[in-house]
Structure 1
Amino acid sequence: MENVRITARPATWLMLGIVLVGLNLRPSMAAVGPLLSAILGDIALSFSVASLLTMLPVMAMGLAMFFAMGISQRLGEQRTVLMSLAIIGLATVARLFVDSAAELIVSAVLAGFGIALIQALMPAFIKSRFPDNVALCMGLYVTSIMGGAAIAASFAPLVMSRTGSWRVGLAIWAGLALLALLFWWAQRVNTPRGSAPAVRKQSFFTHSRAWLLAIFFGLGTASYTCVLAWLAPYYVEKGWSEQNAGLLLGFLTAMEVISGLVVPAIANRSRDRRVVLMALLGLIIGGFCGLILSPQYLSLLWPCLLGLGIGGLFPMSLIVSLDHLDNPQRAGGLTAFVQGIGYLIAGLSPLMAGMIRDQLGSFEWAWWSLTAVMVVMLLMVWRFDPRHYARQFQ
């Protein structure tokens, strides 16, 4: 995949297509948390088993990353995106008919597989099509992912209350997949194709820097997946309604959207991303401490801090990975490895938090654990000195 510069108008349409695709990569998970109490009232689930609705699709995303690049090279970028959107849409609409925990979990895993195919492809796709504005375009793409989560978290309870069915609240997001699929299909003729890969496929399993990047991405994403799964149930346990708890999660993800747009644009001014990364981790630490010590007082401030921190950390973790290699295909392979290992790590966090909730009766110890993880990440940031990137993958 070589750099394919495109003119302004096709670039705008292509970026809009990427944004529409990105909107589909989280609703299948984000809609579950705000509706969890209604689901638990209809299907017998413990908190540990309920955590599988977030954990297993994230784990599926991680595992699928390792062969997703191969699939996209065989099928081509266009067909891979279209197939992925079809899988996500079918898995989501199937939730209209689920009657058991197993069926709900299978739908989540299938959606996770479709999501992984797109997420493995997009960083290299963006780096090849927008080589002069990688950070900005990655910010738009990741922001659209979080925007999809915000929409689903905010409106799924409203859909449930209007229709009287949590199944409709989960399944309605198949409409987003259909919209993106039709738009991408309509634009396929105008979307420039990358040339055949010019470099051999490279394994990153033996590179210590690749593992450092993957662990950093995984630990950061663990905070995202855990908050996505358990913030709304945490506040429902504090006496909030599902609607208000869902809106709070929607507010958090709206802050992620703002941060995902602004932070990469700020970071684009310098190749050294460390100060930005440390500031984002500081915001997350402050948010978790507030959730633990004062969840009801200043209840909008803590999700705001978490959203701003997590929303910037997610794209910045991928941008730092892309910074290490100039060739789009090699960089895409590295980000696929980083996401593959990272999502396997992140997928464990909702399960661990659910187990902590079952054993100790509170999510607060899970928030403390994630706070400690963010402190460890602060120490890892100092390794990302751009002056040393060139020698890491020689």
Structure 2
Amino acid sequence: MHNSDIDQPHIAQRVFTSNTLAIIAVVAVALNLRPALAALGPVLDRIEAASGLTSTGAGALTTLPVFLMGLGALAGSSLQRWVGEGRGIAFGVAIIALACVARLFWFSSAGLLASAAASGLGIAAVQALMPGFIKRVFPLDAGRIMGLYSTGIMGGATLAAATAAGLSRFVGWEAMLGLWGLPALLALVLWQGTSSSYTSVRRTVFRQAVGRPPSRSGRAWLLLVFFGVGTGAYTLVLAWLPPFYVQLGRSEDVAGYVLAGLTLMEVIAGLAVSAFINRFPNRRGPLAAALCSILGGLICLIIMPLTLALPAMILLGLGIGALFPLSLIVTLDHADEPASAGRLSAFVQGGGYMIASIMPFAAGWLRGRSDDLSQAWVMMAVGVGLLILLATRFSPEERII
């Protein structure tokens, strides 16, 4: 018997352990990509009163980081070449941690906007680099791991929304926001400890990637618009659903629980996508189902927001929770190589997040003018209707780069 035959099970075990730890690290990082935004909504009225922010300014607390996510994503390929995936993701998580901790000490309107901008840049670095990392490390299982990654993102939002009002009563909203720096620091330590074995690939490999730039592909632009409008539903709900229910007479706790319940539905939907997506090589059916669910939830908010609060929460949560990973998976479907996937993902997320950033700001402007958010739900419903038509264009056979 050869030594190689004896060592083979041990090698397989090491690979399995290493991959498992890498998945845990990916999910840990993902959990920290939304609390800086999701923790704001349940206490937004209190923040406005204490900091002097207007409704438009409060909307900017979500719009600014989401817009910067887009700018940062467009620079993802440059960041990939300069520092590599592992270091770039670590750099992004560190910025998120520092931005959250800064809110403990700098909680004026200027400080809140500055920390929102910093968190947006950190999130952008992670989101631009993580798809390429997943595509390279898990080439045969990228769809499932992307589903877990996006589920982790929504899980972090769930925790932040559910605990925001209660924590803020005990420690103050400033400390509540700042405490989210601690899990980000823990995720940074875990990432540094488990990703190093996957970062030995030379950065020059990424410089050798060839192919048509995504900006020269009409399909890439369709993916960008699809991701942007779909993510706009998420950012709109994240920023303004709790204030909407507070305005209708519900308490901050109840409004926070509505958002937490919605994001919990997102987690369930994300896990379902991760578990079953490989059974649907043609993604158009799941995309249509997710979009119809979002549309149904928006209709509930428009016609009977109090009576239909539970159906709205469930439909919006399941739809948004499925649409986010599906949008990322469909994007990865259009690229064959990890470097190409990274470039395409950066392009789609970059422009897409810029589009998505318009929604919270527009809703804040509408609220400031009419003291009513119903028009924002109507605007989003029209956009979702257009996405249902657009989803029919995503044939599984086409590749871009």
Instruction: Report the TM-score, using the length of structure 2 for normalisation.
Output: 0.93
Matched, 1:147 2:165: no
Contact preservation (8 Å) 1:10, 1:191: no
| Structure 1 residue 69, shift from structure 2 partner | 2.3
Match of 2:169 in 1: 161
Out of 272-281 and 95-104, give the one that drifted further.
95-104
Q: Superposed, which structure 2 residues align to 1:98-113 within 5 Å?
A: 98-113=106-121
Separation in structure 1 between the aligned mates of residue 212 and residue 112 of structure 2, nearest angstrom: 37
Note if 1:331 corresponds to 2:328.
no
Contact 1:92 1:107 in 2 (8 A): yes
Contact 1:264 1:312 in 2 (8 A): no
Provide the rounded CA distance (Å) in 1 between the counterparts of 2:117 and 2:148.
Answer: 26
SS for the counterpart of 1:62 is helix
Of 165, 171, 177, the residue aligned with 1:170 is 177
Match status 1:83 vs 2:91: yes
1:42 shift after superposition: 0.8
When the two chains are superposed, the root-mean-square deviation of aligned CA atoms in Å is 1.5
Task: Determine the structure 2 residue equivalent to 1:17.
Answer: 25
Q: Give the corresponding residue for 1:129.
A: 137
Amino acid at match of 1:33: G
Q: Counterpart amino acid of 1:238?
A: L
Which of 293, 296, 302 is residue 303 of structure 2 equivalent to?
293
Instruction: Identify the residue that residue 271 of structure 1 maps to in structure 2.
Output: 281
Question: 1:99 Cα shift?
Answer: 4.0
2:192 aligned residue:
185
Q: Are positions 1:50 and 2:70 aligned together? A: no
Say whether the 8 Å CA contact 2:48–2:55 is kept in structure 1. no
Partner of 1:247: 257
Does 2:370 align with 1:363?
no
- Counterpart CA distance in 1 for 2:46 and 2:301 is 24
TM-score, length of structure 1 as denominator length: 0.95
Worse-superposed segment, 173-182 or 293-302: 293-302
Q: Tell me, which stretches of 5 or more residues in structure 1 are unaligned?
A: none
Counterpart CA distance in 1 for 2:32 and 2:107 is 24
The number of residues matched between the two structures is 386
Verify the 8 A CA contact 1:232 1:246 in the aligned structure 2: yes
Partners of 2:328 and 2:198 lie apart in 1 by 24
Q: Distance in 1 between matches of 2:378 and 2:70?
A: 25
| Greater mean deviation of Cα atoms: 190-199 or 327-336 | 190-199
Q: Which runs of at least 4 in structure 1 moved beyond 4 Å after TM superposition?
A: none
Residue pair 1:202, 1:330 contacting (<8 A) in 2 also: no
Distance of 1:305 and 1:82 partners within structure 2: 35
Displacement of 1:212: 0.4
User: Does the Cα contact within 8 Å between 1:160 and 1:166 map onto a contact in 2?
Assistant: yes
> AA paired with 1:78?
G
In the alignment, the residues of structure 2 paired with residue 203 and residue 189 of structure 1 have an alpha-carbon distance, to the nearest angstrom, of 30
Query: What is the Cα deviation at residue 203 of structure 1?
Result: 2.6
Say whether the 8 Å CA contact 1:215–1:345 is kept in structure 2: yes
Match of 2:76 among 49, 54, 68: 68
Q: Distance in 2 between matches of 1:217 and 1:113?
A: 19
Equivalent position to 1:41, from 49, 59, 70: 49
Q: Quote how far apart the aligned CAs of 1:321 are.
A: 0.9
Compared with structure 1, are the counterparts of its residues 189 and 353 closer, same or farther at alpha carbon in structure 2 (3 Å cutoff)? closer
Work out which of the two has the higher radius of gyration on C-alpha atoms and give 1 or 2: 2
**Aligned AA for 1:77?**
E
- Greater shift after overlay, 216-225 or 255-264? 255-264
Residue in 2 that maps onto 1:347 = 357
Q: Which moved more, 1:215-224 or 1:323-332?
A: 323-332
CA contact (8 A) 1:34 1:242 kept: yes
Of all paired residues, the percent bearing the same amino acid is 44
In structure 2, do the counterparts of structure 1 residues 307 and 194 end up closer, same or farther at CA, with 3 Å as the change threshold? farther
Provide the secondary structure at the position in 1 that maps to 2:393.
Answer: coil
Instruction: Specify which structure has the higher proportion of helix.
Output: 2
User: Is 2:225 the partner of 1:218?
Assistant: no
Indicate conservation of the 8 Å contact 1:69/1:117, yes or no: no
- 3-state SS, counterpart of residue 97 of structure 1: coil
Residue identity opposite 1:368 in structure 2: V
1:281-308: per-residue Cα shift (whole Å, max 9, x none)? 0000000011111111132221111010
